[in-house]
């Protein structure tokens, strides 16, 4: 099992975990379903308030982790804006940005034909490389505050698959190159108003953020002194009662030395605990000593299960429970397996299996391999009602393959 989810699963707020109380509603929803829980979302947003630290930093939400527009509209008034990674995300975020916050973009490869539109939609643009800076900054600099994504070259992750500071990283200007560029050719970098770094993944330790900030300042303090803003990226988790002293110290460190606006742009931390995949058991059968339960969902609805090789949480699983099942997805991929789980009661066809802590990087990465449609989306209101938001239709599927008026290929 990968460490990617480590530390991610201790938040337990869920209404859905009280499945008994919601049983009626659950039987009426069409599965597979992605459910976002508005009450949990509300609690997660209180963390954003704690992070702001008396307005010493502004909290954005990185919509790459979760992009459902009704939920973004709900979140917007509690946020200082959104962080996006493409023109499409920028357009979506702008429509959901009911709170009047700012839009921030960074992407490894901005496209020549999108630069002006990105500049008109986004308030802050962090170019990923010096060459993209050279190519595009003059076309954007009068519309948006421009800066650079920096790779601090200080790694905290053992697994390179999700380490933005991995060797030869494509993510950001290596800190040493930034320092030499400012030294060798300051005119080239005239107009850099800020820097963004995003250098961690699912870390519960804000001490690592503090180390990164100190490291940046000790290597590039004179550069930072001339900036208007610093964006600390995402990559950190925060939960009730979590020690935020590393974050406080990082903000103290920056604010006591620099006259900059500080942005923080978490994704997972603000949404993971608020989302569930609800599935129905389609079949149960023995296979060489194991009981296999095939669900009407697939790991393609939670692709990080496969990408990062971890077992997602399942409501009701208990290491000591008597009934053991291999929970499997319904595609032809042999490895479409969620994992081995123990449940208190035997599973039968028609039962519901619920994956909790599934709010981040599920729907935004989900795909339709084998023609298995994307989950329907429901909001679970604070009153315990499931409100239907969308259903993936055959027409949407067919359009991808060149059929119908909205054909994409």
User: Pick from 147, 140, 157: which is nearest to 126 by CA?
Assistant: 147
Stretch that binds ligand PLP, among 43-51, 230-238, 315-323, 339-347 (CB under 6 A): 230-238
Asked whether position 104 contacts ligand PLP by CB under 6 A, the answer is no
8 Å CB contact between 197 and 212: yes
Question: Under the criterion CB under 6 A, does residue 11 sit at the interface with ligand PLP?
Answer: no
Binding span for ligand PLP by CB under 6 A among 23-31, 59-67, 94-102, 213-221: 59-67
Cα distance between residue 178 and residue 194, in whole Å:
12
Dihedral pair phi/psi, residue 166, rounded to 5°? -65, 160
User: SS3 of 173, please?
Assistant: strand
Minimum gap (Å) between residue 375 Cβ and ligand PLP? 20
**Does position 65 bind ligand PLP by CB under 6 A?**
yes
CB of 216 to ligand PLP, least distance (A): 15
Judged by CB under 6 A, which stretch of 61-69, 109-117, 350-358, 375-383 contacts ligand PLP?
61-69
Q: How far is the CB of 379 from ligand PLP (least distance, A)?
A: 21
Residue among 101, 147, 194, 235 that touches ligand PLP (CB under 6 A): 235
Say how far apart CA 129 and CA 189 lie, in whole Å.
12
Nearer to ligand PLP by Cβ, of 82 and 217: the residue is 82
Q: What values do phi and psi take at 188, rounded to 5?
A: -60, -35
Where do we find the tokens 């397996």?
A: 337
- Determine, following the binding rule CB under 6 A, whether residue 194 of this chain makes contact with ligand PLP: no
DSSP helix/strand/coil, 151: strand
Interaction of residue 265 with ligand PLP, rule CB under 6 A: yes
Near ligand PLP by CB under 6 A: residue from 31, 58, 97, 106: 106
Nearest distance from C-beta of residue 136 to ligand PLP, angstroms: 18
Radius of gyration of the chain (CA): 22
Q: Quick one: 193 or 198, whose CB is closer to ligand PLP?
A: 198
Is residue 224 classed as helix, strand or coil in its secondary structure? helix
- Given 32, 81, 233, 359, the residue binding ligand PLP (CB under 6 A): 233
Residue closer to ligand PLP by CB (options 204, 384) is 204
Question: Can you tell me the distance from the alpha carbon of 217 to that of 120, in angstroms, rounded to the nearest whole number?
Answer: 31
329 binds ligand PLP (CB under 6 A): no
Looking at the Cβ atoms of 35 and 63, the one nearer to ligand PLP is 63
User: Could you give the angle at the alpha carbon of 161 between the alpha carbons of 319 and 300, nearest 5°?
Assistant: 60
Q: In this chain, which of 32, 101, 266, 375 binds ligand PLP, going by CB under 6 A?
A: 266
Residue 115: enclosing H or E segment and its boundaries?
helix 115-121
CB of 290 to ligand PLP, least distance (A): 34
Find the largest Cα–Cα distance for the chain.
Answer: 70
> Minimum distance between the CB of residue 202 and ligand PLP, rounded to whole angstroms?
6
Burial class (CB in 10 A: 0-12, 13-18, 19+), 172: buried
d(CA 257, CA 237): 26
Q: Is position 275 an interface residue for ligand PLP (rule: CB under 6 A)? A: no
Alpha-carbon gap, residue 154 to 215, rounded angstroms = 8
201 binding ligand PLP? (CB under 6 A): yes
Instruction: By CB under 6 A, tell whether 89 contacts ligand PLP.
Output: no
Distance CA 399, CA 148 (A): 38
Q: Which of 31, 128, 268, 297 binds ligand PLP (CB under 6 A)?
A: 268
Q: Tokens for 398, please give them.
A: 């067919």
For ligand PLP, the binding residues (CB under 6 A) are 62, 64-65, 83, 106, 198, 201, 233-235, 265-269, 360
């Amino acid at each position: 099992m990968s460490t990617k989810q480590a530390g991610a699963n201790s938040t337990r707020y869920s209404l859905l975990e009280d499945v008994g109380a919601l049983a009626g509603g659950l039987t009426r929803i069409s599965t597979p379903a992605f459910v976002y829980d508005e009450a949990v979302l509300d609690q997660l947003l209180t963390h954003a308030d704690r992070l702001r630290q008396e307005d010493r930093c502004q909290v954005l939400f990185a919509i790459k982790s979760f992009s459902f527009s009704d939920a973004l509209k709900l979140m917007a008034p509690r946020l200082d804006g959104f962080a996006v990674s493409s023109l499409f995300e920028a357009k979506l975020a702008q429509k959901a940005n009911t709170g009047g916050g700012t839009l921030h973009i960074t992407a490894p490869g901005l496209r020549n034909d999108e630069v002006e539109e990105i500049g008109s939609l986004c308030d802050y643009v962090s170019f990923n490389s010096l060459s993209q800076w050279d190519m595009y900054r003059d076309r954007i600099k009068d519309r948006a505050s421009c800066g650079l994504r920096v790779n601090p070259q200080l790694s905290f992750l053992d697994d390179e698959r999700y380490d933005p500071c991995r060797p030869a990283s494509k993510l950001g200007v290596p800190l040493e190159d930034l320092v030499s560029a400012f030294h060798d050719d300051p005119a080239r970098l005239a107009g850099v108003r800020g820097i963004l770094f995003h250098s961690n993944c699912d870390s519960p330790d804000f001490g690592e953020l503090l180390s990164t900030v100190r490291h940046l300042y000790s290597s590039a303090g004179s550069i930072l002194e001339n900036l208007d803003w610093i964006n600390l990226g995402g990559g950190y988790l925060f939960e009730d009662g979590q020690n935020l002293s590393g974050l406080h110290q990082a903000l103290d460190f920056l604010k006591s030395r620099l006259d900059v606006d500080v942005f923080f742009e978490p994704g997972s931390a603000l949404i993971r605990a608020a989302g569930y995949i609800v599935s129905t058991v389609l079949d149960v059968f023995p296979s060489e000593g194991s009981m296999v339960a095939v669900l009407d969902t697939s790991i393609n609805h939670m692709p990080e299960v496969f990408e990062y090789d971890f077992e997602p949480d399942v409501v009701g699983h208990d290491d000591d429970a008597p009934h053991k099942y291999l929970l499997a997805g319904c595609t032809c991929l042999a490895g479409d397996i969620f994992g081995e789980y123990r449940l208190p009661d035997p599973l039968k066809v028609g039962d519901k299996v619920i994956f909790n802590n599934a709010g981040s990087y599920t729907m935004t990465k989900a795909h339709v391999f084998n023609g298995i449609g994307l989950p329907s989306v429901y909001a679970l209101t604070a009153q315990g009602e499931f409100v239907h938001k969308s259903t993936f239709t055959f027409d949407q599927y067919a359009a991808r393959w060149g059929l119908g008026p909205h054909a994409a290929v």
